[in-house]
Amino acid sequence: MARLPLYRYSPQSVEFKEIRWGRIKLIILGIVLGFCLITASVIINQYCGDFLRLSYLQQSALANENKILMDQLAYLNNRLEKDEKTLDKLGDQGNELRLLADLPKINEEVQKAGLGGTESRVDFSSSMKINDLLNNLHAVLDKTEGELHIQKTSYDVVEHTVENNKDRFSHLPAIKPMEGYYSLQGFGMRLHPILHIYRMHEGIDISNMTGTPVYASADGTVDFAGHQTGFGIVLEINHGYSLKTIYGHLSKILVHEGQIIRRGQLIARSGNTGLSSAPHLHYEVRLNGVAQNPIDYFFNNDDRKKSQKGSLSASD
């Protein structure tokens, strides 16, 4: 079999010259010997304790990576500890919100999510420093997650309670239902001006002219609208939360049974119907069916002084 000739270009003679196979063999042999020499040097270096220090660069790179890792772990630990302090402040603010919502405080043990006792330690690495950093990181993360869960649950309860309180407050009979004078001593035992006997007066009498507008003192639903013995034309509103208001001696009712009423809505006009000696509004507040002093429910009772100056000629 004939050999395939190889040529190379010579810039000196500006011509192609045939490459002798002997030279090619020498080049290949040199490459093989060089590779074998390098391989043998690496193997011998490993068995002889890296006397050539060939792994220095690799170790230097690993050491640099370890330093970056430890620095980042320390940085994350510091950030988490700062976040934990912020979470403590949020817990204090949350307790203030709970007081505003009429809820009990969360004690410190519950706020800390009850994370006490023996901590489980895990060996992540042969390096004690890295183990300390990683275990501390896990501990702070577990504690923070527990506290976050407690705070989220607390804020959800506060939000629900505030919304419920808004509804409850709107159903609280907090405004005076009609302009006029009333006695601060109108509620309680007294001598009836018509029957001339001592009996319990379960509301207050607000004196004004017949036809004076009467307004709902809170949100609710009309339970009764009609005539009753003694009260004449009377209106009863159920406000929920075991509260009810009664408006007696009316001249006209402007709502109907079952109608939903809003605080401040015009519901009737005062009169002199029933057992009454002069135009006025008899107004009662009942809690669980028991008569309460309506004055105790008035949110803004600026006319206390006026009521003391005025005199009531009307009563029932």
Asked if the model's pLDDT at residue 266 lies above 80, the reply is yes
Claim: this prediction has a pTM higher than 0.85? no
Separation CA 7–CA 16 (nearest Å): 6
CB–CB of 248/281 below 8 Å? yes
Cβ pair 137, 122 in contact under 8 A: no
Of the two residues 143 and 48, the one the predictor is more confident about is 143
Give me the pLDDT at residue 301, please: 56
- Return the structure tokens found at 264: 């401040």
Report the pLDDT value the prediction gives residue 139, as an integer from 0 to 100: 77
Mean pLDDT of the chain: 76
Distance of CA 31 to the CA centre of its chain: 75
Looking at the DSSP assignment, which residues form a beta bridge with residue 121?
Answer: none
DSSP helix/strand/coil, 233: strand
Asked whether the beta carbons of 252 and 239 are under 8 A apart, the reply is no
Calculate mean pLDDT across residues 75-84. Answer: 77
Distance CA 179, CA 12 (A): 124
Residue 33 has what pLDDT? 75
Are 184 and 301 in contact by the 8 Å Cβ rule? The answer is no
Least confident segment among 7-16, 132-141, 294-303, 304-313: 304-313
CA distances from 206 to 20, 74, 199, 210, 271 (A): 131, 73, 19, 12, 11
Q: Give the CA radius of gyration of the chain.
A: 46
Quick: pLDDT tens for 121-144.
656 555 677 777 777 777 777 777
pLDDT of residue 302 exceeding 60: no
The domains of the chain are located at: 6-47, 67-170, 188-309
Residue 117: is its pLDDT beyond 50?
no
Residue 304 has a pLDDT of 47
Average pLDDT over residues 248-267: 96
Per-residue pLDDT at 7? 58
Residues 138 and 122: their CA atoms lie apart, in Å, by 10
pLDDT digits (tens, 9 = 90+) for 201-257: 789 999 999 999 999 999 999 999 999 988 999 999 999 999 999 999 999 999 999
3-class secondary structure, 287: strand
Span 188-309: which CATH code? 2.70.70.10
Token output for 290:
């028991």
Q: Report the pLDDT value the prediction gives residue 118, as an integer from 0 to 100.
A: 45
The mean pLDDT value for 28-39 works out to 73
pLDDT above 70 (res 58)? no
Cα–Cα distance between 299 and 30 in angstroms, integer?
106
Q: Write down the pLDDT at residue 120.
A: 63
Q: How confident is the model at residue 307 (pLDDT cuts 50, 70, 90)?
A: very low
Q: What stretch of H or E contains 127? A: none
